[in-house]
Structure 1
Amino acid sequence: MATNFIQSGTTITITPLAAIKSGEPVAIGSIVVVALSDIAIGQQGEAKADGVWSLPKAAGAIEQGAVVYLADGEISTVDTGTYAGIAWQSAGAGDAHVNVKLGQAHAIVTAPAV
């Protein structure tokens, strides 16, 4: 039996540089996670690295299936932040939140030249 299994990878222990509220998205390196409880500056806490979450949305509409990013605590389709995942549902320009599947892999497929 394998002896090098660590965990399923759905949660991660983090030590934030700023206080984080429960349910708040945060970029840790190149991944976006959601805090499972309030975490004080410099204290360890658990965050979820997968699942579908209702997260604060920047201005503008987001279509279902769009690749989304976290920047300044908000989700948008503008690639100026950390890759967060895929929009699980569409969200209108006036919506404050969008449902995001964290870490959903995406690929860019380019058609071959003809």
Structure 2
Amino acid sequence: MQKDSGPLVPLFWIGFGYAALVVSDWIIGYAKAGSVLSLVAALFFSGLAGLGAYWLSQDPGNIWVFLDTSGTLAGIMRMRFYRSGKCMPVGLVVGANWLMVAKLGISVLSKPCP
């Protein structure tokens, strides 16, 4: 019998892709609106998401920075989605945020209690 090696794609690789999606969405917002605040938010939140994914790659139990970042972004992007009413690119990022929050939440809840 072979030992189960876990998920096919480790969560931190999904996290790095998520960070890239976040930065691309905010940079598109900067290019369209010319808002420096969008650019600063892009760097801040994608940096936190990348840092959270890196910490997750070092220790699979260290998900709190990543979970907090994706949860905060889920709320922010939901407000942007309701204001704009456009599915692209805001709706895509809202969906990705909620999927990340759900995946991380399942990861936390599936761990045995100490």
Into which bin does the TM-score normalised by the smaller protein fall?
Answer: under 0.3
TM-score by length of 1: 0.26
TM-score by length of 2: 0.26
Q: Which has the higher helix share?
A: 2
Q: Which has the higher strand share?
A: 1
